[in-house]
Amino acid sequence: MKKLVLALALAGALGVHAETLKTDVVVIGSGGAGLSSAVTTHDLGNQVIVLEKMGIIGGNTNRAEGGINAAETQQQKEAGIPDTVDQFFSDTMKGGHDINDARLVRVVTTKAKDSVAWLTSLGADLKTVGRAGGAKFNRAHRPSDGSAVGPEIMKTLWKAVKDRNIEVRRNSQAVEILKNKKGAVVGVKVKGKDGKVYTIESKAVVLATGGFGANNAMVTKYKPSLKGYATTNHAGATGDGITLALKAGASLVDMDQIQAHPTATPDGVLISESVRGDGAILVNSQGKRFTNELLTRDVVSNNELKQPGRFAWIVWDEPVTKTAKLIQEYIHMGLAVTGNTYEELAQKMNVPADALVATMKRYSELQAKGKDEDFGRADMPQALKTAPFYAVKVQPAVHHTMGGVHIDTKAEVIDTKGQPIPGLFAAGEVTGGVHGGNRLGGNAQADIVTFGRISGQSADAYIKGLTK
């Protein structure tokens, strides 16, 4: 009795919680990657605990707006879109400046169609197929009412988690990955809501902690030019997974590859790429176009930073608004200025009215011709001449951290000697290599769900191997 009291007193003094839990798999992070992993490995017969450090689930996945890219899907076939996995692969490599890990890209581009079918089987509405930047064909699958894809994916995965009674511990931050003497992962240390640290013993751990876009110190460490940038990320995107993985002996790749999204409001609210895809254009503070709006994010961001004041306006008309609920929400949120004429809009934007009117007239003419002689934009779905007109002030903000934990095609985490760390898997934005030097819109969701599922399958295969 004396001994127990002493042990508890000691544990209390050290801030250590006496509780030790046991499970087969611990999944760290409750975004799209984490929940895809948890549902998959649960369905293969494993007991799972999901840890989420924030009070809410979903991380950056909640904020994903555009779509989930996939080629050769049922939806594309029905719409007569002649896309192929090979085209998806080459668009992704080209978009990533060819520094992507081609083996990982092959996996995502081949299996994304299964991810879309899997989400659909779980109840997701991914019926509409739209265009995102850098894609040769329409392959961004999204809800049929034009609402954002991330909440649809989270809603679907959360229902699957609830239906299966998978345990999700919120306000629970993984603070250390535990290994045995042989170097195999055997659990995690967790800091609970009360600040006390306890242990969960497990046979495998999946890191699905997302990126580090909201940690400007970490961002600046790897890319000093982004010092002081706003971010579109949720507050929990602080790169814990990078710190945890490094301590567990993992190697990292492409850490300096950090993407700025060209259309964030000064407060960091993301205006989805799909608004441009659906027809909007960009003009500068002089009311003039300055770029092909559908170029990759890095190029459009750089072009924007060359404009006076380093910002732009994204401009669209009523028919564009009608294409998506998401766009209507931006208007309801009060992000846009509005005008019944371009003169009126120009006044509210504080740009020269004659210049804006001339820019919009010229664009309508080019759209009618079907050829953008000024900037080479391939797809001009709208003439932008039907009032009311809308504009939102935008600038580049840190959006996606392409680099991260080094994984192989089985989502095994690779150590500094090039060997898998037994029992440690990773998926989603915490990993590096899939997106290379630039992530295409719609590819994050393809990556997180596909590698989320693979990490769940690999954790299962690893556990089954342990008992052989």
Residues marked active site are found at 297
Q: What six digits make up the tokens of 309? A: 């004041």
Q: How many chain residues are in contact with ligand ADP, going by CB under 6 A?
A: 28
Backbone φ and ψ for 198, nearest 5 degrees, come out as: -135, 175
Taking the complex as a whole, how short is the minimal distance between the CB of residue 135 and ligand ADP, in angstroms?
Answer: 20
Taking the complex as a whole, how short is the minimal distance between the CB of residue 208 and ligand ADP, in angstroms?
Answer: 5
34 touching ligand ADP, by CB under 6 A: yes
> C-alpha 412: how far from its chain's center?
20
Closer Cβ to ligand ADP, 28 or 148, answer by number: 28
Closer Cβ to ligand ADP, 206 or 283, answer by number: 206
Closer Cβ to ligand ADP, 237 or 351, answer by number: 237
Closer Cβ to ligand ADP, 31 or 436, answer by number: 31
Q: What six digits make up the tokens of 224? A: 């000093």
Residue 391 in contact with residue 337, Cβ under 8 Å? yes
Residue found under tokens 């590698």: 451
- CA dihedral sign of residues 266, 267, 273, 278: negative
53 touching ligand ADP, by CB under 6 A: yes
- Coil, strand or helix at 317: strand
- Taking CB under 6 A as the criterion, which residues in 333-372 touch ligand ADP? none
Q: What six digits make up the tokens of 252? A: 């990292």
- Taking CB under 6 A as the criterion, which residues in 187-226 touch ligand ADP? 208-210
Closer Cβ to ligand ADP, 246 or 466, answer by number: 246
Tell me the CA distances in angstroms from 168 to 63, 245, 419, 425, one per residue in order: 20, 21, 31, 19
Q: Give the residue among 176, 105, 134, 204 at the shortest CA–CA distance from 451.
A: 105
User: For the window 151-180, what string marks contact with ligand ADP as x by the rule CB under 6 A?
Assistant: ----------------------xx------
Facing residues of 198 across strands?
190
Is the backbone of residue 189 left (phi > 0), alpha (psi -120 to 50) or beta?
A: beta
Give the one residue of 26, 27, 30, 185 binding ligand ADP; rule: CB under 6 A: 30
Give the one residue of 186, 448, 454, 463 binding ligand ADP; rule: CB under 6 A: 448
Closer Cβ to ligand ADP, 192 or 319, answer by number: 192
Residue 264 burial (CB count, 10 A): 23
**E strand spans, 23-64:** 25-28, 48-51
Distance of alpha carbon 438 from alpha carbon 440, whole angstroms:
6
Taking the complex as a whole, how short is the minimal distance between the CB of residue 53 and ligand ADP, in angstroms?
Answer: 4
Give the one residue of 11, 21, 44, 54 binding ligand ADP; rule: CB under 6 A: 54
Q: By CB under 6 A, which span of 54-62, 109-117, 159-167, 300-308 interacts with ligand ADP?
A: 54-62
Give the list of residues 6+ apart from residue 154 with CB closer than 8 angstroms, or none.
31, 32, 35, 57, 58, 61, 62
Give the one residue of 37, 61, 215, 443 binding ligand ADP; rule: CB under 6 A: 61
Is the backbone of residue 80 left (phi > 0), alpha (psi -120 to 50) or beta?
A: left
- Taking CB under 6 A as the criterion, which residues in 232-251 touch ligand ADP? 236-237, 240-241
Closer Cβ to ligand ADP, 237 or 366, answer by number: 237
Give the one residue of 59, 277, 436, 437 binding ligand ADP; rule: CB under 6 A: 59
* SS3 sequence of 332-373: HCCCCEEECCHHHHHHHHCCCHHHHHHHHHHHHHHHHHCCCC
Taking the complex as a whole, how short is the minimal distance between the CB of residue 118 and ligand ADP, in angstroms?
Answer: 15
The footprint of ligand ADP (CB under 6 A) covers 28-34, 51-54, 58-61, 173-174, 208-210, 236-237, 240-241, 428-430, 448
